[in-house]
Amino acid sequence: MLPLSAYREAINLDEPFPAPIDDPRSDVDLLRIALGGLPERRYPDITPDHAIFTDKGLAFALRYELVLRSPGPFDEDVAESINILLARHSARMGRTTGPNLMRVSEMLPRSDYGAARNVAMWRGDVRELVADAVVNAAMPNLLGCTDPMHPCIDNYIQGQGGPWIRNDCAIIHDIQGHDDEVGHAKITRGYRLPAKYVLHTVSPHLENGKVTEADRAALASCYTSCLDLALEKGDIHSVSFCALSTGKNNFPFAEATRIALDSVNRWLQYHGTDVIELVIFNIFEDEDAEGYMHALNNWVED
């Protein structure tokens, strides 16, 4: 596993990303500069010269190209325009502050879940969540989903965080010399996400729907590897996980939920909560939230 020390300086992980300048230019003017400076555009018909864009349309036009682009440099004007546009889009989406979320111990005071005071559940868009780190269900090459129409967390994180995330991941991949292994984790800055950092982990994919012990161990490792890396970084106190390996990765939701809750519970009990004070489970669907609630309501602590 590639250690943090091998790529920390290469991606300037400890340097703050500059806030966008106060710019009087319109979103359309900025989009024209941003799209005009992105090489290998896959959808050249998206241009502010050919349509009247709503705010949502402008955001989609930019995200479409950012999700499709290959990693690589771009000039300062383009980077500045993208930075401003993504900051404006983030502001329009609003904010949910992770540390202010109700803890499991408050939601379910009778739950036997050991880490209940340091764990929260939240249904919402990861692009709105203020946390020190959010976890991305990454592709093995770490370069992100390349289908702008696919509603996956990788797509949302890469699209809102900005092209710098993909560039950082390409550097990490080059240093490592191969795709990332299932259950490992890497970290980049969050850039134009509300989160300071993104923890990228490749979770197991089930081909035939049958779960093996190796699959269970790999999924548990995704959670512990992310928390280990967050702890090593040193300034991360809140971490948000999506429902890793569920959906198209075909891991049965109930079992994946149990592994997620158990892995986090054991990690917090072993390492304490002096540094990692809060773990958030970011859930999207009502049915999934009910699954987490059921697991917590029926938890039997070892």
Average pLDDT over residues 159-170: 95
The answer to whether residue 240 is domain-embedded is: yes
Q: Based on the domain organization, do 70 and 122 belong to the same domain?
A: no
The answer to whether residues 56 and 188 belong to one domain is no
Mean pLDDT computed over 42-51? 54
**Is residue 99 pLDDT above 70, yes or no?**
yes
pLDDT tens-digit map of 54-86: 667 777 778 888 888 889 998 999 999 999 999
Higher pLDDT, 205 or 111: 111
- Tokens 């949502």 -> residue: 56
Single out the residue in 59, 77, 93 at which a domain terminates: 93
The answer to whether residues 52 and 106 belong to one domain is no
- Higher-confidence position of 40 and 10: 10
What pLDDT was estimated at residue 188? 98
What one-character-per-residue DSSP string does 61-93 give? HHHHHHHHPPS----HHHHHHHHHHHHHHHHHH
**165, pLDDT greater than 80:** yes
Within a domain: 1: no
d(CA 273, CA 53): 47
Residues 165 and 57 in one domain: no
Asked if residue 14 is part of any domain, the answer here is: no
Report yes or no on 171 lying in a domain. Answer: yes
| Highest mean pLDDT out of 18-22, 47-51, 65-69, 232-236 | 232-236
**Total residue count of the chain as it appears in this document:** 302
Interior/surface letters 76-114, b for 16+ CB within 10 angstroms, e for the rest? eebbbbbbbbbbbbbeeeeebebeebebbbebbeebebb
Last residue of one domain, picked from the residues 93, 117, 152 = 93
Residue 156 lies in a domain: yes
Domain assignment present for 7: no
Domain that holds residue 245: 96-297
CATH number at residue 112: 3.40.220.10
Which residue has tokens 């982990």? 201
**Overall average pLDDT of the 3-30 stretch:** 93
Question: Residue 260 falls within a domain, yes or no?
Answer: yes
Residue 128 contacts residue 157 (beta carbons within 8 Å): no
Looking at residue 5, its pLDDT comes to: 97
What pLDDT score does 260 carry? 97
Average pLDDT over residues 112-136: 96
Q: How far apart are CA 265 and CA 244, in angstroms?
A: 16
Q: Are residues 227 and 105 in the same domain?
A: yes
Q: Is the pLDDT of residue 249 over 80?
A: no
Q: Are residues 241 and 179 both part of a single domain?
A: yes
Task: Please report the pLDDT score of residue 48 as a whole number.
Answer: 52
Inform me whether the pLDDT recorded for 13 exceeds 70: yes
Three-state DSSP class for residue 274: coil
Same domain, yes or no, for 81 and 130? no
Count of the separate structural domains present in the chain: 2
Residues 282 and 196 in one domain: yes
217 lies in the same domain as 255? yes
200/35: higher pLDDT: 200
Q: What's the rounded mean pLDDT across residues 238-253?
A: 88
Looking at the structure, tell me whether residues 87 and 140 fall in a common domain: no
Residues 166 and 238 in one domain: yes
Mean pLDDT in residue range 237-253 = 89
The chain-wide mean pLDDT, for the chain, equals 90
Least confident of 64-68, 124-128, 159-163, 166-170: 64-68
pLDDT, residue 44, reads 55
- The domain boundary, picked from 56, 75, 93, lies at 93
Position 32 scores a pLDDT of 83
Same domain, 137 and 53: no
Residue 230 lies in a domain: yes
pLDDT at 47 (0 to 100): 56
- The pair of structure tokens assigned to 233 is 């970084």
pLDDT of residue 207: 80
